[in-house]
Amino acid sequence: MPDPSLTLISHPLCPFVQRAAIVLLEKGVPFERINVDLSAKPGWFLALSPTGKVPVLKVRQADGEDAILFESMVICEYIEETQGGASMYPDDALLRARQRGWIEFATPTLADAWQFLNATDPSIADAKGAAFRERLQRLEMELGTGPYFAGSTFGMVDAVYAPLFRYFAIIDPAVSRAIFADLPRVSAWRAALAVRPSVRDAVVKDYAERFRKHLRQHHALLAA
């Protein structure tokens, strides 16, 4: 049964929601999940979310009141600090700081990927695809033998990048092959994340079709 003390307010396609869901699942924390229509945001949601964005985590307090957390990494860090299960960060302070730096790197990486995926103009698609490739090349230089970002242990960096890589299992395989060509470590990392149970279970069963529908509705060049 879901734990009524934790409610994750979500959207089925949001990659930032997936970060929080993956961490909750990795920690084995039961939670309730409520999806909202971001094209017609309900008043109750706008009253909770100062930014008008998901995810939002409602945390039921001992006195019955709800505390509201917003921003995906704030939520992920709260879960890491308050829940059991394996730590999502290394014990060493320097390694933790370096991993948090690569988490920050994920934000512009996701932005380039998203603009590439949703591009309706070939010149924009080419520019954003090239920018995304450059960021993947930086990651390629940072990765070790895997299977995860920091080796054999799944961590917070993995939870952050997994939603980004998910898109490329849905679009035309030829496009994905070109994006990840000559990036063996990133490709192996992507494959390992794809089969992780927490990553698989962080989205609804029909996620792929929902994303394809999104691309069609936005007349993206990659729509199928």
Report all structural domains of the chain as residue ranges with CATH numbers, in order of start: 6-82 (3.40.30.10), 93-217 (1.20.1050.10)
Q: Is the pLDDT of residue 2 over 50?
A: no
Residue type, 40: A
CA dihedral 25, 194, 175, 161 (to 10 degrees): 50
Return mean pLDDT, the chain: 96
Average pLDDT over residues 204-214: 97
In our burial notation (b when 16+ CB lie closer than 10 A, e otherwise), range 171-199 reads beeebbeebbeebebbbebbebbeebebb
pLDDT in tens, 18-60: 999 999 999 999 999 999 999 999 999 999 999 999 999 999 9
Helix (H) / strand (E) element for 25: namely helix 15-27
Tell me the C-alpha to C-alpha distance, in Å, between residue 185 and each of 45, 101, 156: 40, 19, 18
Q: Is the pLDDT of residue 196 over 80?
A: yes
Confidence band, pLDDT 50/70/90 cuts, at residue 117? very high
Average pLDDT over residues 189-215: 98
Confidence band, pLDDT 50/70/90 cuts, at residue 96? very high
DSSP symbol at 170? T
Task: Please state the pTM of the whole predicted model.
Answer: 0.96
Placement of tokens 């945390």 in the chain: 59
Res 4: pLDDT: 64
**How does strand 56-60 pair with strand 32-35?**
unpaired
The dihedral region occupied by 151, where left means phi > 0, alpha psi between -120 and 50, and beta the remainder, is left
pLDDT in tens, 55-92: 999 999 989 899 999 999 999 999 999 999 999 999 99
Confidence band, pLDDT 50/70/90 cuts, at residue 224? confident
